[in-house]
Structure 1
Amino acid sequence: MMKYAFARLLLGFTLLLSWAAASGQEARPGDVQLAGQPAAGARADAAMAPVQNIYGRSHLSLNGRWSYIIDPYENGFYDYRRQAFDASKSGKGGFYDDRKPKDKGDWVEYDFDRAPTMKVPGDWNSQAEKLQLYEGTVWLRQLFEADPKPGRRYVLYFGAVNYEAHVYLNGKKLGMHRGGFTPFQFDATAALKKGRNVVVVKADNTRHQDAIPTVNTDWWNYGGITRDVLLAELPATWIADYKLQLAKGDARRLQGFVQMAGASPAQKVTVSIPEAGVTFAVQPDAKGRAVIDVPVKPLVYWSPQQPKLYAVEFSGGGDKVLDRIGFRTIETRGQDILLNGKPVFLRGISLHEENPLIPGRLRGQGDMRMLLQWARELNCNFVRLAHYPHSEEMTRLADEMGLMVWAEVPVYWTISWTNPDTLREAGRQLTDMIERDRNRASVVVWSVGNETPIGEARNAFMGSLVRTARGLDDTRLVAAALEIHRRGRDITIEDPLAQLIDLASFNEYAGWYWASNAEMLDFRFDIRLDKPVVVTEFGADALGGYHADADTRWSEEYQDRLYQNQFRMLSGIPGLRGMTPWVLADFRSPRRQHPYFQDFWNRKGLISDDGKKKEAFWTLKKHYDEVEKRYGP
């Protein structure tokens, strides 16, 4: 009976058009709603709907050294009766007050002024020894000077805080956000002061079974403010969002929309691409939304060989936004992937948002550029940004460097499939990722998850996410990293989700988690789908510098032989059109506990934790060089 009840429950999910009312914006077509409940993307956390291209606005960076207080019992948030201070009648009493003793007899049990500091953006695990394995609450405080102008709107923006963030400005709570990899922002206008301002963040990276991601992952749970913090200034009426891409099925038309917000959203917007000789105007409706659908002369297409980006200007309502946008088409036809109408083989690699040479999350564009340059050295034209949304700067760099991107949300392994709140959270994170990156030409695949187990509840959950992705963007491919199944010596895909997505995309670890280097060649792939096949993971752990024969696990030779054998196995798949082996560089993971070979590192990287390329790096590069000769660039 339970499964039928759940099936009926899932029938209550509908696509809801719901922008945050505070921003004056229309509904978001990707938001999923359970009948009688708030929408999946509805911002009950008080966050504003995202402002597109926040870096293109006038802004003050709040990055730098932030004072921090470790609070494992959350004394700065709850009183001794476990009641939240910010929910009390006065709203006072928490660490967010940043209170100082009034006199020598006053009692205050915290002091940000005397607290240590850490660098933001940056995780806390890598910046203090006592926090290396810490999961819980840390309070962070930053002081800054401001001079707010009358008639302007001010937005406090966070690129990412892992996992739950409560944000206070000058003692006033702006809101709360959950999700460690997507941006969020709050309207700070009312709380902002002329002169000295205090922003305090309660960051909590505690894992939860019903969260996205859940408790069980294979990467380090870095806590803290891990991406940029900005205070952006907007006019009274502003350009809140926009999308501009080539129309699906018609590369001679530009389609998308402009969304105005603020005091007078129904103001004309002009869009211009000077280099292409394109200028046109659109008239938003009373809710500030205007649809774009205009003919255009042939443009220079974005591609890995020629990553052409056009300067695009949106202006209206006293606001002006400049962006750099590439235009290209991506589609499938039978077993082919077509980029700008021509077949392409995705020569890819998977990577985490982590620099193996420096502890912790990536801290800037230099780290990101290094990882993407390593991918370029492999002769890649494609990267899988696993297993969560990476920084907006990463996708912008991929635009610039000519690397196609697989972008993914952390729906990973053991999700609470029957919990409607979990589905709502997954839908919101997927929506946030798509809304942020839908103008990035490099992003060609939206992935709704990784290695999720087949089951009625899971199938409904994942099917809902696929519909959400397609409702938000019909110009890109939708996929997921599926699991394979073995029937004797045959390797098959028996996942009903494969029927809903655009690629026959899957992970397989022949030679490592099952079979050996010698045995793996006895298996064959039997993929009975008329879709392009993309192998999203294969690989083996190898401790950099550890050498033995090709039958000795953990050696570079074993990893290298496995790659050679994988190429032989995969060559038997007629529809093979891409791969993203696991993984570009070694990365940290609490699941990897062998004291010698792992030491809390996943060693499947082609580059070691000291930046040295393992033997398999050169084997993959050679293979990609040969693939390029066969399939073209």
Structure 2
Amino acid sequence: MPRTSLPMLHNWKYAPSFDEAYLARNYDDSAWKTVTIPHANIETPYNYFDEKMFQFVSCYRATISPNQQDANTRIFLDFEGVMTAAEVYLNGEFVGSHRGGYTPFRVELTGRVAFGQPNVAVVKVDSREREDIPPFGGSIDYLTFGGIYREVALTLVDPIYIENVFVRQADVLSDEKRVEYSLFLRNTTNVGQNVRALVTIRDEQQQPIIQAEEHFTLTDGSAAQRVDFALSGLRNIKLWELDAPALYTFDVKLLSESGAEDTYSTRFGFRTATFTPQGFLLNGKPLKLRGLNRHQTFPYVGQAMPARAQRKDADILKDELHLNLARTSHYPQSRHFLDRCDEIGLLVLEEIPGWQHIGDRAWQQVACENVREMVTRDWNHPSIILWGVRINESPDNHDFYVETNRIAHELDPTRQTGGIRCIPNSELLEDVYTMNDFVHNGGGIALCDQQVVTGLDHVVPYLVTEFNGHMYPTKRFDQEERLVEHALRHARVQNRAAEDPAICGGIGWCAFDYNTHYNFGAGDRICYHGVMDMFRLPKMAAQFYRSQGSPAQDVVLEPATFWTRGERSIGGVIPLVVFTNCDMLEFFYGEKLVGKYLPAKDRFPGLEHPPIIIEIPFDELGVWGLTWEHGRFVGYLNGKAVIERQFVSDPVPTKIVAVADDAALQADGIDVTRVVYTAVDQAGNLTPFLHEFLKLSLTGPGEIIGPKEIPVIGGAVAVWVKAGTQAGTITLSAAGTRFTANDVRIEIIQ
């Protein structure tokens, strides 16, 4: 029979405790809560909570009822992520376990499952910070949360089946390209089998561009067997580029002489990605990498967000912040995030779980297994250009890191490795020296010279993987001067990275604020290190990154000010930084044209779009006690006015605007979308210090994730809405003490 994969996302029974009695097939779990997957073991507050509240052992139970006609198949439960350790039982019998919450695992039910009748799968989930499992054993600057927080599926295959496929591209920059591929197969029969593999490569329209048939023999036994083949002479192939990420589909159908059949499909792209001492090359062309680190943390549910939210993060990084690279700090992240990076042309540095601490030999063995699981899960993603095979910011450990590099190179010889460190003169075992450089403190140098860091007498492939972060934590509702300086620190470092041909690029810390332990961050269990907050709402630093995009795609004109005389120390708004990709702007104070201003190329020569900095005498906009006037900014491109921003002198909130990311959701009981509430003044600008309180109400087939009464933080806040299982229309309403937001309607479709 062909492969069958059945998502197991509904009708799980959940208890926030564990007892051996729960393992029994006939245990009465009718009083347990019914949940969907992804699932967080407990809902957490936005901030100020005890991080031990999710560190407990819980239990999930689900019924599996395979058909009698499938009795000759192999049957598996596939888990994409369970935090932190899992033990799996079927009908009271132990069938498998896994340590580590960030990588997938499979347990086989063959021989234990009863076909044609209900079976009960039980998952014991240990979400404690166990010292035997990376990233734990020391202190870590993030929270891992708990639960079955990624998808689960029931997979049925014939006794001869495909376990994995690795697709590699060769001669990518030639007119005729070649695909090399490896099939990882299992023959669980007790005899050798003659097998045919029917291979098809399809283009973006799913039209076949080449087909092949391979014949070979599999020996008997259950051990995985690898067979390698190649397809040559591929012409008229589109490259996977950042602005046109062409994706191809590799399909393989396996047929054996005994009648066994299996199919497997994966996407891939034709591209080269090379870190050199002279910079990074994508498809042979120089590309300066500009990125941010991403934690996969969301308010209230931790990491347990489904596909749409994961994909949206990739869209934000590429389309709103105009990045070309994301680092999955500090662990492998959702396949949905990576799939979207493939689709939109966002490069990825993916790394193993960890933070500074290296445990004992058994701990290191788990980390090595994490390398294997990460690489073999994700090796076909064209967006991934570098494997991170070192525990983030850990000390040197020669034998351990020789092994992690060996594993990555042996499994995937097509990609280079990096090892994120924060110590100078570190032993370079990887292909790329990846360094967290926090030297910039607002003045002086922005980045260290690479040879000062490496201690080597020659230049090597070099990438800055973190900067800023804890050096200058900044809340979205902070005082204007701090928000401006936060943005400028990102600009200075990205400028320095862009100037130096020996630096492949810079990855700032970080994209989004995230929950962390009490001994990090602001004490409220949040690290305010992001250029956006946890709701993915922008700080001024986000506007710097946004301004680095092409004006053909997104014209940006963002004065870094709240436009008030008394917000800054001493007063006024000068110097006034404007993040823009315009080539000139006019600045009006009241009705007076103050001047025309150009990008500060002298201060930021490495940036494609330097900020414009308006520096005029302090009293030119009046002095303390005089009337404050409105401000107006007009941006020009090639001599033509293309964008305008206005600021009123006497801002008062006029309304709260509600906008949903999506107009429709799937009626699957899992799909989510974000709704953003922004309090704006007469000119439509954010009122950054408004403290309003919203009471949310929802009608229709869906629910609100998190509390139903929320504060408007710094003039804005967001909520996520989850679809129900029935078609219909959700109406989300929000009423405050001073304003009622516009209703948001979201269609729930079957």
Q: Per the shorter chain, which TM-score range?
A: 0.7 to 0.9
Letter in 2 for 1:191: R
**Paired residue for 1:320, among 235, 246, 263?**
263
Shift of 1:571: 5.1
> Partners of 1:366 and 1:393 in 2: how far apart?
8
Q: 1:525-540 alignment to 2 at 5 Å?
A: 526=452, 529-539=458-468, 540=472
SS of the residue 2:118 aligns to:
strand
Shift of 1:407: 0.9
Q: String of CA shifts for 1:405-434, please: whole Å, max 9, x gaps.
A: 111101321112xx3222221111100111
Shift of 1:446: 0.6
Which residue in the other structure is 1:480 paired with? 419
Shift of 1:338: 1.8
> Partners of 1:438 and 1:477 in 2: how far apart?
12
Q: 1:139-154 alignment to 2 at 5 Å?
A: 139-148=59-68, 149-154=70-75
Matched, 1:196 2:135: no
> Partners of 2:312 and 2:245 in 1: how far apart?
18
Q: 1:514-533 alignment to 2 at 5 Å?
A: 516-518=441-443, 526=452, 529-533=458-462
Q: Which has the higher contact order (CA 8 A, sep 6+)?
A: 1
Native 8 Å contact 1:254 1:296 kept in 2: no
> Partners of 2:275 and 2:287 in 1: how far apart?
10
Distance change in 2, residues 1:177/1:270 (3 Å): same
> Partners of 2:388 and 2:520 in 1: how far apart?
29
SS of the residue 1:449 aligns to:
coil
**Paired residue for 2:293, among 340, 347, 350?**
350
> Partners of 1:568 and 1:507 in 2: how far apart?
16
SS of the residue 1:232 aligns to:
strand
Which residue in the other structure is 2:517 paired with? 590
> Partners of 1:464 and 1:360 in 2: how far apart?
32
Q: String of CA shifts for 1:317-339, please: whole Å, max 9, x gaps.
A: 22122332222122234322222
**Paired residue for 2:136, among 207, 211, 214?**
214
Which residue in the other structure is 2:738 paired with? none
**Paired residue for 2:32, among 115, 139, 145?**
115
Q: 1:614-629 alignment to 2 at 5 Å?
A: 614-623=539-548, 629=608
Which residue in the other structure is 1:270 paired with? 198
SS of the residue 1:268 aligns to:
strand
Root mean square deviation, CA, Å: 2.7
Distance change in 2, residues 1:422/1:97 (3 Å): same
> Partners of 1:259 and 1:545 in 2: how far apart?
52
> Partners of 1:571 and 1:271 in 2: how far apart?
43
Letter in 2 for 1:231: L
Letter in 1 for 2:269: G
**Paired residue for 1:286, among 218, 229, 233?**
218
SS of the residue 2:308 aligns to:
helix
Matched, 1:375 2:297: no
> Partners of 1:113 and 1:415 in 2: how far apart?
43
Native 8 Å contact 2:346 2:383 kept in 1: yes
Q: String of CA shifts for 1:95-135, please: whole Å, max 9, x gaps.
A: 211444xxxxxxxxxx5221234432122132799997231
Shift of 1:241: 1.6
> Partners of 1:265 and 1:189 in 2: how far apart?
20
Native 8 Å contact 1:348 1:382 kept in 2: yes
Q: String of CA shifts for 1:485-513, please: whole Å, max 9, x gaps.
A: 3xxxxxxxx1112xx222232112234xx
User: What TM-score results when the alignment is normalised by the length of structure 2?
Assistant: 0.65
Which residue in the other structure is 1:165 paired with? 86
Matched, 1:581 2:501: no
Q: String of CA shifts for 1:16-65, please: whole Å, max 9, x gaps.
A: xxxxxxxxxxxxxxxxxxxxxxxxxxxxxxxxxxxxxxxx9522222134
Matched, 1:462 2:384: no
> Partners of 1:333 and 1:437 in 2: how far apart?
23
> Partners of 2:26 and 2:210 in 1: how far apart?
55
Range moving further from structure 2, 396-405 or 562-571 = 562-571
SS of the residue 1:304 aligns to:
coil
Letter in 1 for 2:462: V
Which residue in the other structure is 1:363 paired with? 305
Range moving further from structure 2, 204-213 or 578-587 = 204-213
Native 8 Å contact 1:556 1:615 kept in 2: yes
Native 8 Å contact 1:125 1:132 kept in 2: no
Distance change in 2, residues 1:57/1:328 (3 Å): farther
Matched, 1:240 2:167: no
Letter in 2 for 1:480: G
Shift of 1:449: 2.5
| Bigger CA radius of gyration | 2
> Partners of 2:446 and 2:295 in 1: how far apart?
29
Letter in 2 for 1:369: R
Which residue in the other structure is 2:178 paired with? 253
Letter in 2 for 1:580: I
> Partners of 2:378 and 2:447 in 1: how far apart?
42
Distance change in 2, residues 1:265/1:483 (3 Å): farther
Which residue in the other structure is 2:694 paired with? none
Matched, 1:227 2:150: yes
Q: How many residues of Structure 1 are paired with residues of Structure 2 in the alignment? A: 520
Shift of 1:568: 4.9
Structure 1: segments with no counterpart, 5+ residues: 1-55, 78-93, 101-110, 486-493, 550-554
Q: String of CA shifts for 1:525-550, please: whole Å, max 9, x gaps.
A: 6455523332111123111111143x
**Paired residue for 1:409, among 352, 363, 368?**
352
Shift of 1:621: 2.8
SS of the residue 1:211 aligns to:
coil
Q: 1:595-610 alignment to 2 at 5 Å?
A: 597-610=522-535
Which residue in the other structure is 1:421 paired with? 362
Distance change in 2, residues 1:150/1:337 (3 Å): same
> Partners of 2:43 and 2:534 in 1: how far apart?
15
Which residue in the other structure is 2:343 paired with? 400
Q: String of CA shifts for 1:169-228, please: whole Å, max 9, x gaps.
A: 222221111111111111223232323221110000222334221232111121111111
Which residue in the other structure is 1:446 paired with? 387
**Paired residue for 2:7, among 57, 61, 64?**
61
Distance change in 2, residues 1:348/1:571 (3 Å): closer
Native 8 Å contact 2:25 2:119 kept in 1: no
Shift of 1:166: 0.6
Native 8 Å contact 2:288 2:498 kept in 1: no
Distance change in 2, residues 1:280/1:484 (3 Å): same
> Partners of 2:480 and 2:608 in 1: how far apart?
33
SS of the residue 2:200 aligns to:
strand
> Partners of 1:570 and 1:218 in 2: how far apart?
26
Letter in 1 for 2:218: A
> Partners of 2:265 and 2:497 in 1: how far apart?
44
Shift of 1:593: 5.7
Q: 1:82-97 alignment to 2 at 5 Å?
A: 94-97=21-24
Native 8 Å contact 2:447 2:493 kept in 1: no
Native 8 Å contact 1:156 1:185 kept in 2: yes
SS of the residue 1:291 aligns to:
strand
> Partners of 2:111 and 2:144 in 1: how far apart?
34
Shift of 1:484: 4.0
**Paired residue for 1:133, among 42, 45, 53?**
53
Native 8 Å contact 1:543 1:598 kept in 2: no
> Partners of 1:582 and 1:130 in 2: how far apart?
25
SS of the residue 2:373 aligns to:
helix
Letter in 2 for 1:123: A
SS of the residue 1:431 aligns to:
helix
Which residue in the other structure is 2:282 paired with? 339
> Partners of 1:204 and 1:218 in 2: how far apart?
20
> Partners of 2:292 and 2:73 in 1: how far apart?
44
Distance change in 2, residues 1:433/1:199 (3 Å): same
Which residue in the other structure is 2:426 paired with? 495
SS of the residue 2:421 aligns to:
strand
Shift of 1:271: 1.2
> Partners of 1:522 and 1:337 in 2: how far apart?
18
Shift of 1:579: 1.7
